[in-house]
């Protein structure tokens, strides 16, 4: 009977030690998880920027389709911000993703994928309505698609933000020229018909 009492007491002691170990392990694993999340949060903007740099290298080599894929990979990495709790880190990630979308929009514009360019510009403008690059590229797309009123609006917004932006001034001039050409074309078509 003494052995039974002793084994019960030692079992109780072992259970108490085991429970405290479990609690310690849970605390450690929780703190490890927090550290991992913080480390992952720091890594994500760096990974996005690394992929963006790869995209930039492909643009420099004039391999636009490959650059578009690299920017797309960077954007995918950046879209997984659900683990990031630090607001400053989230802001850096949004900026990195926006830079990738702007670069990808430029690539889409170069290869005349106007709808994809407009989508990327729209995504950036949803985050930052004052993005001059997004507004300018949006204006260039609208101009290429013969949506002159929309192009004019985009270029005017650029000039509201940066009065001295010569590219936006040229864009507005291109809109005026395109409208005049279209009007003259209609006149010629009307006369010859």
SS (H, E, C) the chain: CHHHHHHHHHHHHHHHHHHHHHHHHHHHHHHHHHHHHHHHHHHHHHHHHHHHHHHHHHHHCCCHHHHHHHHHHHHHHHCCHHHCCCHHHHHHHHHHHHHHHHHHHHHHHHCCCHHHHHHHHHHHHHHCCCCHHHHHHHHHHHHHCCCHHHHHHHHHHHHHHCCCCHHHHHHHHHHHHHHHHHHHHHHHHHHHC
Structure tokens at 49: 């920027």
Per-residue pLDDT of the chain (193 residues; tens, 9 = 90+): 445 444 555 555 555 555 566 655 555 555 555 444 444 445 678 889 999 999 999 999 999 999 999 999 999 988 876 677 788 888 888 999 999 999 999 999 999 999 999 999 999 999 999 999 999 999 999 999 999 999 999 999 999 999 999 999 999 999 989 888 887 777 777 655 5
> pLDDT value at position 42?
53
Domains and their CATH numbers in the chain: 8-192 (1.25.40.10)
> pLDDT value at position 39?
45
> pLDDT value at position 87?
85
Structure tokens at 56: 């930039």
């Amino acid at each position: 009977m003494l052995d039974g009492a002793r084994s019960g007491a030692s079992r109780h002691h072992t259970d108490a030690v085991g429970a405290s170990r479990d609690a310690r392990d849970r605390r450690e694993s929780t703190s490890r998880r927090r550290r991992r999340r913080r480390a992952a949060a720091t890594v994500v903007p760096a990974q996005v920027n690394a992929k963006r740099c790869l995209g930039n290298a492909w643009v420099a080599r004039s391999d636009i389709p490959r650059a578009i894929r690299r920017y797309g990979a960077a954007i995918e990495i950046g879209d997984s911000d659900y683990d990031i709790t630090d607001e400053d880190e989230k802001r850096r990630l949004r900026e990195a993703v926006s830079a990738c979308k702007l670069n990808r929009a430029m690539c889409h514009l170069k290869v005349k994928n106007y709808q994809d360019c407009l989508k990327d510009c729209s995504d950036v403008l949803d985050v930052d309505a004052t993005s001059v690059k997004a507004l300018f590229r949006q204006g260039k797309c609208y101009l290429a698609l013969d949506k002159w009123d929309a192009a004019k609006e985009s270029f005017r917004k650029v000039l509201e933000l940066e009065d001295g932006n010569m590219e936006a001034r040229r864009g507005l001039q291109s809109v005026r020229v395109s409208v005049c050409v279209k009007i003259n074309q209609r006149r010629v078509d009307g006369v010859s018909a």
